[in-house]
Structure 1
Amino acid sequence: MDELSAAVSSASHRDFSAIRTRIDARLAELLPRDDSGHHQIGNAMHAGTLPAGKRVRPILLVLAAQDLGHDSNALIDLGCAIEMIHAGSLIVDDMPCMDNASLRRGQPTIHRRFGEDIAILTTVALLSKAFGVVASLEAVDAAIRTQLVACLAEAVGTQGLVRGQYEDLREGAHSRSARAIATTNELKTGVLFGATLHMAGLVAGASEGQQRSLRRFAIELGHAFQLLDDLTDGEPDTGKDAGQDTGKSTLVALLGVEVTRKQLIRHLAQADACLAEVYGAGSQVSRYVHQLFAKALPSLR
């Protein structure tokens, strides 16, 4: 586990930052904007997507495909589509009828800044734009494009993000088993990671075995991210409202900080093992995941 906490090379860090810069630039091109002030949807789409995002999912998509030997501009557009869906899910998650959050990425949430009506329409617009971007990838074979669209639809729908949010709303305030909490976490966080890695595999021509390993990696990574989010809920420097999970049945509330931290580390180790099945040792994806958690893990001791 010391490996997971070790610093990655500065060269790798520069490579990852370069991908993020490309994603940010392409998002700014793809998202509409109205500077007249008459229609705020475009401005809200920008505000909900562009500021301060880590771009974890788009970067993972690009790296996963590159590690499989594929590189193209289509990866950037696919990453942007994933980021739009992620941003839309956060806007909904923050709404008064959901988590009633006031801060996201250190800024007022979209419903606080633009109003609940604009927030709802912005989410719909982001989802629509994301599917449009994927469907318009002329450089990708039409049959693959169809699979990419289907993958996104499944991730968003009633077997994915929608179901996860529903279960969190209906069951989150009640006492739940560790297994039930983990299932909700997988739906809320893991499914979009799953779509991200599956889309990378589709474009890169991954084998069925590689896709299975990437899917298991995505599940383990999703659990790790959700546990990290739960563990840092009370910290003031996350860019979100502190104590947002107070009163919810999370693994931290059920098992305590130390046990939850050990589970997070176990999920990361299992994620690394899944990556090794696909890429062997030293993949870009593995180095990137190590970098993401390297700073957080020591602070959770």
Structure 2
Amino acid sequence: MPLVTSKELFENAYKGKYAVGAFNVNNMEIIQGIVDAAKEEGSPIILQVSAGARKYANPIYLRKLVEAAVEDTDLPIVLHLDHGDSFEICKQCIDDGFTSVMIDASHHSFEENIEITKKVVDYAHSKGVVVEAELGRLAGVEDDVNVSAEDASYTNPEQAVEFVKRTGVDSLAIAIGTSHGAYKFKGEPKLDFDRLAKISSLLPNFPLVLHGASTVLPEFVEMCNQYGGNIPGAQGVPEEMLTQAASLGVCKINIDTDLRLAMTAAIRKELIENPGEFDPRKYLGPGRNAIKKMVQHKIKNVLKSSNSI
């Protein structure tokens, strides 16, 4: 099966009240762990590439690794650009074979955001590619995205309707209280589900996207710290909140930090317990297995997309 767009995946997810996992990829082991988990669970997946990943791994290498994943499985796989910050980068990814791109012009004014997004949508749709945009800003740090709490703002429901209508965008990332990185909440985790429900009611059958949605599973934080890490007080979005969001029109849930924590924890453990080991396969292999187990858990227990294809 060739790479697909997210259009049909989101239609099915909306009807089924589940979400498709969008997992950030940086290297071969991460891609293998995600894809192996999706194969066993019979779940569609979105493999997404950030600006940081493109700088680290080289766009050509990442694209070829994803092509290998497609050849290795008959799963519906979307290749998605995460947080493209300009028309130029979105165009480049579209021309390189991506089936979905995100234009994140949320740091601009409302009118500028519409203008830039519309330009990307027009080009992408002419090539059969779908577009995600963002309205409202998430706090936190992820690769090249760095937004302070003071600059973060929740999505206005009425503006969301106008934005979708004027841009023709295919999905919309909204801000309801999640944030990027491992430190999402200082106190009790809380999402604005009333705001989500309002946006969903004003945009019926329209797929919404939740960024900054890693749970920051305590077991991986504890393992990192146990084996020499220093990640005190890390806290993410409780899994039951993510499942609730999927029941309210969120069709795509982004997961990055959980992947990093799972892999890092497994590698740290392996290196500490086997200090004489210097074969990268001996510690990257356990890292890959940790990602697979974590992604399987997400698919079955959080996203509820297991056996959906």
What range is the shorter-chain TM-score in? Answer: under 0.3
| Between structures 1 and 2, the one with greater strand share | 2
| Between structures 1 and 2, the one with greater helix share | 1
